[in-house]
Amino acid sequence: MSGDSASRSRRATAQQLSSLRAAGVTRIASRSRKSGQTSSDTKSVPAPDATAATACSRSASLFNAPQSTMPRAEREEKLRILSARVAQCVRCAELSATRTQTVFGVGNPEARIMFVGEAPGADEDRQGEPFVGAAGQLLNRILEASQLKRAEIYICNILRCRPPGNRTPALEEAANCREYLDGQIEIVDPEYIVCLGSVAAKNLLGSMDSIGKLRGRFFNYGRAKVLCTYHPAYLLRNPAAKKDVWGDMKFLMHDLGVEL
């Protein structure tokens, strides 16, 4: 990092700490992604842990992992192997019998931001890619407004098979598929995970709280900061909630050093 970059980073960090203190956040976990060490008790905490925020160092690229410990080619290969396992998976009898294909995940294997949705729908089941239907198009517009591109982030779901009739995933199905989600998180190693909707938020964080209560703050999941917001499909039914999602995206991007 150059002297200018270092001083910019220090100024950004000071501004973040100041704004977090102003917001009443008192517990800050500083962390080195290079070493994986944390200076507080937030390391590898799988349960919700609100208010922990990280003064992450910024790289030249906003959207690639700044201090990757795993080369990109190795990540791609590991994701390919995991995806091949998923394609053969029959853990959920009903889903594996009714799916057209599994829907693993797409995007940048070094992404700093991972979006996690609920499960594939009819369009996703047909095309083998998450968020390609109407909700996916709305997600694309949200990303664009947030100065993000799909190719820069990583997108996956709690489930990798479509539940018949788009029913809510059963707890057992989410548990069956958790190994694959955790595998993707471990390989991509994002700094931020955005849970889209209550199924993603509740399953990832193990929380019973509503999405309305989980919004507006960061949780920790392993090394990642987790933000919860509404699912784009919910926004299609409830357009009034778009302003809340916009607020959540501004909150996320502010933490990344981008003012929307």
Instruction: Name the site residues for ligand SF4 (rule: CB under 6 A).
Output: 86, 89-92, 95-96, 102, 159-161, 173, 176-177
CA 13, CA 31: separation in Å to the nearest integer? Answer: 12
Rounded to a whole number of angstroms, the minimum distance from the CB of residue 167 to ligand SF4 is 13
* Tokens read off for 93: 């009898």
Positive or negative CA dihedral for 56, 249, 230, 125? negative
Nearer to ligand SF4 among residue 56 and residue 177 (C-beta): 177
CB of 175 to ligand SF4, least distance (A): 9
What's the closest the beta carbon of residue 225 comes to ligand SF4, in angstroms?
A: 25
- Helices and strands (H and E) in the chain: how many: 10, 8
Work out how close the CB of 102 gets to ligand SF4 at its nearest, in angstroms, rounded to a whole number: 5
| Least spacing, CB of residue 182 vs ligand SF4, in Å | 12
Nearer to ligand SF4, 161 or 227 (CB): 161
Nearer to ligand SF4, 30 or 96 (CB): 96
36 versus 183: smaller Cβ distance to ligand SF4: 183
Q: Which is nearer to ligand SF4, 65 or 161 (CB)?
A: 161
Nearer CB in complex with ligand SF4: 154/180:
180
Q: Could you write out the DSSP letters of every residue in 176-241?
A: HHHHHHHHHHHHH--SEEEEESHHHHHHHHT--S-HHHHTTS-EEETTEEEEEE--HHHHHH-GGG
The two structure tokens encoding residue 146: 């947030």
| Shortest Cβ 231–ligand SF4 spacing (Å) | 18
Closest CA to 100 of 68, 127, 118: 127
Taking each helix axis as running N to C, give the angle between helix 242-255 and helix 134-145, from 0 to 180 degrees, rounded to the nearest 10. 50
